Amino acid sequence: MASYLESLARDLLPDAETREFTRHNRKIWGEQVRKPGGPEILVELYPVAQTVISFAYFANILAKRNGARILSFSSSGRHALVNQVRHWKLHSVYRSFNTVGHLNSGDIGPQAAGRAEAEFHRIRSVLKSKWDIFSIVVEGCPIGCDIYESFLMEYRKPTVDPDSEDFEAHLKSCLRFFYFWQDYLESHTVKGLILSHGLYKYGLLKRLCIREGIPVYLPTVRSMLYLSAMEELGNPKFEAYREHFRNLPPEMREQGLAWAKAQLDRRMAGEVGVDMHYSTKSAYGEKRRERLLKDGPQLKVLIATHCFFDNPHAYGVNLFPDFLEWLEYLGRMSDETDYDWYLKTHPDVLPGNAEIIAQILEKYPKIKKLPETASHHQLCEEGMAVVLTTYGSIGHEYPMLGKNVINAGMNPHIAYDFNYHARSLEEYERLLRNLGALDKRADLQELYEFYFIHYKCNSVESLFFVSHSDFTAKLSIQEQNSSASYRYFIGESTDARHRSLVATIEAFLDSRDYKYFPAEYPFPKRRAV
């Protein structure tokens, strides 16, 4: 009871840093008075404080440019008044940067609800398999992937059963969400949508806005994206990484390769969180004493698992509908091959994954689970030859140790030859049945090139913070996402920095570029369409 009351108090009562940030917002933005019925900017109600800082800037700049009101929104099924009370502290921050109301997609009207119900019955009659869900198109919007992935996340299920009551309830919920927003966009003049991510249920809203020509922005404290029909996923253009690198001045290329080598050396030495701010443990720490792998001539292959619930199609539709189907496929392959099979979770494995993996291992006993704390250095020294992933960072870590990596579809390393990239199930099976013939030795210069472009050039070191590296070094992950980031931001804030930040955002909006790159990165511009 005490812990619940403490949690409730944190949600309801603004702390000192939050109160300071709301005063700061009122000072720099003033009060924008707009009459109801005019243009609107919609901004997601999002509880991560550092992202809220970027939302405040984007919302006010867009509102001023369009003479628009700012409204927050959420996908909660709660009544609007209940939502306001439950998130009182967060709403107080939003009101301080001029939101004048809150929209709740649970408040759907009867006509929209009727269309959602009719569409549910139409879709339900044609769903025969998991892959059919990915083909769902409603009112010209391809929303199947968003429906699938939001189910995994909301229900904490590793896969989808199209015939289950849970999925039917979810499909109805998604369609009600879709038609609420279709009605809203048709009856209101929305001039911009601000999202934290274009994923899950909000992917449906994102696609509706893109269809209607409404600008969709994904700002963070170190990046700015403008999504359109050409660039609706919000991912870097991985295939263009080589071209990006060639476009850089020779001196910058040389410095970039040196930086990448130093960063990778730190990561491979066991340092935690190197260019992975979310990480709290290292998979490359000190070696254990006892042997972990079987001593014998059989080829040793490692499955590096992913979180079952989190965005299996982050970079586009992959070879399998979800990570459970991927593991089931590899389980069957383990029964048909003469390899030593191993499985290892990420050191930061999330709750709920272990139980699912235990069921997989019971079903496929040839796969041995390794301790999540096991060092990859030890595994490679004991003979691990190949690692299997869908799109994980292990794809640029294992080649550093001279090992082969096979990706199961689209992944950040796709432009480079230091991994194998299976583009079809037939190719994937051919690779898996002939692992002994693989011999892809990494060109470390290429690997450093990838790392530099991926980790250094796709985000901005100095945008909302003077130095994002200093910000992440001085604040823990929990503090970065809490009101402590408000205090940090205000501590660096000056009138000159505020004016410079506004000017930078204004120039990005005028450019209509897909992604903001600082002037020192002369990458080809990709105009949103």
Which segment of 70-74, 282-286, 439-443, 495-499 scores lowest on mean pLDDT? 282-286
pLDDT digits (tens, 9 = 90+) for 310-349: 999 988 879 999 999 999 999 999 999 999 999 999 766 7
Alpha helical stretches, state H, 384-492: 394-397, 425-432, 444-451, 468-474, 477-480, 484-492
The whole-angstrom separation of Cα 93 and Cα 106 is 23
The answer to whether the pTM exceeds 0.85 is yes
Please, which pLDDT band fits residue 304 given cuts at 50, 70 and 90? very high
C-alpha distances (whole Å) from 225 to each of 154, 218, 233, 427 are 26, 5, 10, 34
C-alpha distances (whole Å) from 463 to each of 37, 54, 505 are 34, 10, 10
pLDDT mean across residues, the chain:
90
CATH 3.40.190.10 fits 243-456, yes or no: no
Mean pLDDT of 70-96: 78
Mean pLDDT of 500-504: 97
CB burial readout 407-422, b (16+ within 10 A) else e: bbbbbbbbbbebbbbb
Q: Is-contact 324 356, C-beta < 8 A?
A: yes
Please, which pLDDT band fits residue 529 given cuts at 50, 70 and 90? very low
Residue 277's pLDDT is: 66
Q: Is-contact 372 344, C-beta < 8 A?
A: yes
Mean pLDDT of 142-148: 95
Mean pLDDT of 113-124: 96
Torsion of CA 80, 84, 85, 87, to 10 degrees: 130
The counts of H helices and E strands in the chain are 22, 14
pLDDT digits (tens, 9 = 90+) for 4-19: 556 556 667 789 999 9
Considering only residues 233 and 148, tell me which one the structure prediction assigns the higher pLDDT: 148
Strands 190-194 and 216-220: parallel
The whole-angstrom separation of Cα 69 and Cα 177 is 22
Residue 346's pLDDT is: 77
**Confidence check: pLDDT of 56 > 60:** yes
CB atoms within 10 A of CB 518: 12
**Domain ranges, ordered by start, for the chain:** 1-107+189-236+470-529, 110-176, 243-456
The whole-angstrom separation of Cα 464 and Cα 15 is 22
Mean pLDDT of 268-289: 75
The whole-angstrom separation of Cα 384 and Cα 361 is 19
